[in-house]
Amino acid sequence: MMSLRQKAKLWWDPIYEIAAKSRDENVKNLPLSIPEIEWATFIDYRLKENTKKMCKRNAENRFKLKINHTCGSKKLKRKRAEIVSI
């Protein structure tokens, strides 16, 4: 079962479209795979000022990262064991 966030990611391309439209417009553009009450709750969450500030802060912090994650698809436990054995 997919989470609401995963379903929303599949449904629309840019997440920023929500902020550009009013709440009522967003609620009317309901994806078929998401119940209306969950979609309305998600829209309310995305339009809160605290959420907007947090998203902006997270984007700035991601931009500051100097080293990208390079482990690939290996589990961290397996990678850690390989490093210890070296």
pLDDT for 77 equals 81
Q: Which comes out higher in pLDDT, residue 37 or 84?
A: 37
pLDDT of residue 50: 95
Q: Which residues contact residue 40 at a Cβ distance below 8 angstroms, ignoring those fewer than 6 apart?
A: 27
| pLDDT at 33 exceeding the cut of 70 | yes
CA angle centred on 30, ends 27 and 35, rounded to 5°: 100
Tell me what the pLDDT averaged over the chain comes to: 80
pLDDT-based confidence at residue 11 (cuts at 50, 70, 90): low
Cβ neighbours of residue 33 closer than 8 Å, sequence gap 6 or more: 7, 10, 11
